[in-house]
Chain A
């Protein structure tokens, strides 16, 4: 397997140049000092209150995401490829969504079957023909990337709804700077701290044309009990915008206002971290208390920008994911720079037959699943689990896709027994504004802390690392 520091997990080949200085440093630093710093890092995280909630686990209402102090390093050349690939992908995603809710050229051309769009629960008929300001649907995307060797990066998932994790990217860097100043002396690392600034510029750039020159942006959160609440308050703080809940907003005459101590104040851009379903009880789930009645009417009147727009789930669905290379080709006329993982759609009979025959070697995922739940990792499962999953799959094949088990790259990681390779992925954050696309160099590296595990999700024992993109 490919190890990002040593080249291979089986045998030590030459240390890869990006990791050379880290390798030396790891050789010099005393294990007990590393241990002290690890504990310091945990203390810092706990004190700042960076916690997340795990649903359905009352014992651990607030838990820390484990942080690994050994950074993950990418060279400038590697980042270049990623950057271009991400930009390309997000452009295509935005073109695709705009097309789906308007002219539907791609369906007319037969690139993908209609029912995969129209029968998809994340497709929002309410958005049909609705204009969104500046035709941008996805303003913030978190694209999950994995690596299998020195040259090959795959996109594993496009998160086009409300990707989270960026606060960890920022905090991880802060904590590393505090704990390991001597390590930073050995590298020139591209900064990530300007992310909030870039995000604010992006959000202001997409304000509706009716807004004033200095539009009012708010961040809409479901509230303090949401698992990502820390991130919401963190971002609002860094952006210098109000962190609002549904009850803080009110719509009058198709204009959105927030309730302030000085009366109502007009809102132009809502960076919303509330799911489509809960956004407006008059249009979506009527029992939602998290949303704002009338918000969609204000949107339809062109008086507010929702970031991301409603209905973007259609672009991060796992069945539609499998068509991404064709989607890119269709809108941009370009071959994808980042690879797609080959995907079998169980809705198609021949694909299903193949999947059922090869369950032991495949990863099978729910089309609408997330958080690493409800999936089968064939090579890591026993016969009973596979049999049970086979039954589930046969019952509702449309709900599943399958992919080969990728040999995810590993990175050196602090574990109880010392330093050992662990599998990682990467989630860079892509910002699409009216003027241009912005990507802060780096992202969130997630690491599967269990030996051999491929599941990096924080809800299932994954940790995070600081991600360094080296300056040229």
Chain B
């Protein structure tokens, strides 16, 4: 297939994945800020949301203070922020439009429908309730896109490249949210288990839709190192770094087999997967969670660059 087509499919999937992630962050932040101060501490949750989205600099350049109004506008509706939810949908549709023949009717319908629907929201919601339903709608659109891709796409390179986009973006998002909140997970600070930590930890889980999963996996109270373990090492958790890399390696291998050759993208992804497979959460904490995540984000980007180099240009 054309390199440009593969590139469009890859970015299409990334944009949708990112839109969903932003919606989840905003939803979680709304919840946290609705709690009394005593439960969440004095930290500015809106500032933290911007950090989790990875666009602190662009935000501070455009706005002074991080509050509900500025952050929701910036992350959800801003035309100036290249990765606002709105622009994610715009870019997703642009990419989709450029590769229409490679998409199934169902996928196109989902993206085009979402893009048309987005116009209804104009420059922002009229109320908090309105905003909440907007966020729900974003998540649903992403699920619909994922579902239609899963159920209708031929299992060939087009599908595999779009999956690569999903998992690289998802791994990046999970690592980022952990990194921003890592100080909350550091077990050194005792005593733990106060209401403050509890709400912050559940917020992390919620933003990657893993709260219920946590209880199923651990059948325990929410504990910081288990939260970290779940999101980094447990491959049964679909948003964990381990699961993302399990899937990345699988899809890269399929491409490699179909094309009869493989390259540095495959090798790098396998190295990362092996590292995740062989790690224990204790060791990660020992060596420093922040350092671990920083390194992961860098090498994840490198895999993305290797995929681009090898196939997309």
Q: Which residues of A contact B (CB under 8 A)?
A: 46-49, 223-224, 229, 233-234, 236-237, 242-245, 247-248, 258-262
Given contacts A224-B94, A258-B2, whether A243 and B101 have CB atoms under 8 Å apart is yes
- Expressed in whole angstroms, the Cα–Cα distance for A262 and B157 within the complex equals 11
- Expressed in whole angstroms, the Cα–Cα distance for A437 and B98 within the complex equals 32
CB atoms of B2 and A248 under 8 A apart: yes
- Expressed in whole angstroms, the Cα–Cα distance for A49 and B111 within the complex equals 11
Q: What is the chain A residue whose CB lies nearest that of B3?
A: A259
Question: 6 nearest interchain CB pairs?
Answer: A237-B101, A233-B100, A261-B311, A259-B3, A261-B6, A224-B98
CB atoms of A47 and B311 under 8 A apart: no
CB atoms of B100 and A237 under 8 A apart: yes
Q: Which residues of B contact A (CB under 8 A)?
A: 1-6, 94, 97-98, 100-101, 105, 108-109, 112-113, 116, 157, 161, 255, 259, 311-313
Say what secondary structure dominates the interface of chain A. Answer: mixed
Given contacts A233-B100, A237-B100, A237-B101, whether A47 and B4 have CB atoms under 8 Å apart is no
- Nearest Cβ distance between residue B256 and chain A, in whole angstroms? 11
Residues of B near A234 (CB, < 8 A) are 100
- Nearest Cβ distance between residue A227 and chain B, in whole angstroms? 13
- Expressed in whole angstroms, the Cα–Cα distance for A243 and B2 within the complex equals 9
- Nearest Cβ distance between residue B218 and chain A, in whole angstroms? 41
CB atoms of B2 and A233 under 8 A apart: no
- Nearest Cβ distance between residue A398 and chain B, in whole angstroms? 41
Residues of A near B157 (CB, < 8 A) are 261
CB atoms of B97 and A47 under 8 A apart: no
Known A229-B97, A233-B97; 14 more pairs at CB < 8 Å: A49-B97, A224-B94, A224-B98, A233-B100, A236-B101, A243-B101, A245-B4, A247-B4, A258-B2, A259-B2, A259-B3, A260-B3, A261-B1, A261-B312
Given contacts A47-B109, A47-B112, whether A260 and B2 have CB atoms under 8 Å apart is yes
- Nearest Cβ distance between residue A233 and chain B, in whole angstroms? 4
- Nearest Cβ distance between residue A50 and chain B, in whole angstroms? 11
Sampled A-B contacts (19; CB under 8 Å): A46-B116, A47-B109, A47-B113, A49-B100, A49-B112, A224-B97, A237-B100, A242-B2, A244-B4, A247-B4, A248-B3, A259-B2, A259-B3, A259-B313, A260-B2, A261-B1, A261-B161, A261-B311, A262-B259
Residues of B near A260 (CB, < 8 A) are 1-3
- Expressed in whole angstroms, the Cα–Cα distance for A49 and B313 within the complex equals 28
Residues of B near A244 (CB, < 8 A) are 2, 4
Residues of A near B4 (CB, < 8 A) are 244-245, 247-248, 259
- Nearest Cβ distance between residue B244 and chain A, in whole angstroms? 22
- Expressed in whole angstroms, the Cα–Cα distance for A262 and B311 within the complex equals 7
Q: What is the chain B residue whose CB lies nearest that of A46?
A: B116
CB atoms of B112 and A233 under 8 A apart: no
- Expressed in whole angstroms, the Cα–Cα distance for A48 and B161 within the complex equals 24
- Expressed in whole angstroms, the Cα–Cα distance for A3 and B161 within the complex equals 55
Q: What is the chain B residue whose CB lies nearest that of A239?
A: B101
Residues of B near A47 (CB, < 8 A) are 109, 112-113
- Nearest Cβ distance between residue A415 and chain B, in whole angstroms? 26
- Nearest Cβ distance between residue B159 and chain A, in whole angstroms? 13
Q: What is the chain A residue whose CB lies nearest that of B7?
A: A261
Task: Find the residue from B3, B101, B108, B116 having the highest chain A CB count within 10 A.
Answer: B101
Residues of B near A237 (CB, < 8 A) are 100-101
- Expressed in whole angstroms, the Cα–Cα distance for A234 and B1 within the complex equals 17
- Nearest Cβ distance between residue B264 and chain A, in whole angstroms? 15
Q: What is the chain A residue whose CB lies nearest that of B115?
A: A49
- Nearest Cβ distance between residue A236 and chain B, in whole angstroms? 5
- Expressed in whole angstroms, the Cα–Cα distance for A258 and B116 within the complex equals 33
- Expressed in whole angstroms, the Cα–Cα distance for A93 and B2 within the complex equals 35
Residues of A near B108 (CB, < 8 A) are 48-49
- Nearest Cβ distance between residue B120 and chain A, in whole angstroms? 14
- Expressed in whole angstroms, the Cα–Cα distance for A224 and B97 within the complex equals 7
Residues of A near B311 (CB, < 8 A) are 261
- Expressed in whole angstroms, the Cα–Cα distance for A258 and B5 within the complex equals 12
- Expressed in whole angstroms, the Cα–Cα distance for A171 and B215 within the complex equals 52
- Expressed in whole angstroms, the Cα–Cα distance for A237 and B102 within the complex equals 8
- Nearest Cβ distance between residue A436 and chain B, in whole angstroms? 28
Residues of B near A242 (CB, < 8 A) are 1-2, 5
Task: Find the residue from A247, A248, A261, A262 having the highest chain B CB count within 10 A.
Answer: A261
